[in-house]
A and B are shown apart, each in its own frame.
Chain A
């Protein structure tokens, strides 16, 4: 099945810094989504982005489907950005399943 790899596994930042999280996937996808899991465990949709670029405030994402990767950019990070960021993909071969990467754990310190 499709493999989803995220990097880095851990990231520690000081407030105000910028960061880039990467998601590589091993096969063609019909959807890709970024999630944020806050320290209380809640999963929040950030982006649905099977291709192209989207922005939402300090966050933006770019997916290059032909090269099988996606990037999540966080600018001017805040302590509330802390948590785990997951990339999840839906394969063209099996559209009924959303496959998650193992996540990037982000800690932002004041």
Chain B
């Protein structure tokens, strides 16, 4: 089954404790991206990756890092989480020729206290 898998689904952590949210897709998609969803703001892009070892900033990259060492994986790293990073996070993937047909993961609800 074609899917984008995020882990964990829910996470409560403390300020400053490094964490990683994993994202994996099984569709051989080149393009992957991370979004955060906040009330009243819709989804905003954090980082995206055109292919292995190619990443770039989206609209709200501050406080986040990503890596793309393998085509299927695109982890989101919060080196020193802060309460303003409490949000619902989505990973998405698609083929580069047809980026509109994106597949989304189930979401990760992160709370930083």
Contact = CB atoms under 8 A, between A and B. Distances in A.
Contacts of B44: 100
- Interface bin, chain A: 20 to 34
Interface residues of B, number: 25
B102 A98 contact: yes
Contacts, number: 54
Contacts of B45: 97-99
Nearest to B107: A41
A45 B102 contact: yes
B74 interface: no
Interface in A17-69: 31-33, 35, 41-43, 45, 48, 50
A41 B103 CA distance: 14
Given A41-B107, A42-B107, A97 B58 contact: yes
Interface stretch (B17-25, B35-43, B61-69, B75-83): B35-43
Interface of B: 33, 35, 40-45, 48, 50, 56, 58-59, 88, 90, 92, 99-104, 106-107, 109
Interface of A: 4, 31-33, 35, 41-43, 45, 48, 50, 86, 88, 90, 95-103
User: Lowest 5 CB-CB distances: which A-B pairs, in order?
Assistant: A31-B100, A43-B104, A100-B42, A100-B43, A102-B42
14 contacts: A33-B100, A33-B101, A33-B102, A48-B101, A50-B100, A88-B43, A90-B99, A95-B99, A97-B59, A98-B33, A99-B45, A100-B42, A100-B44, A102-B41
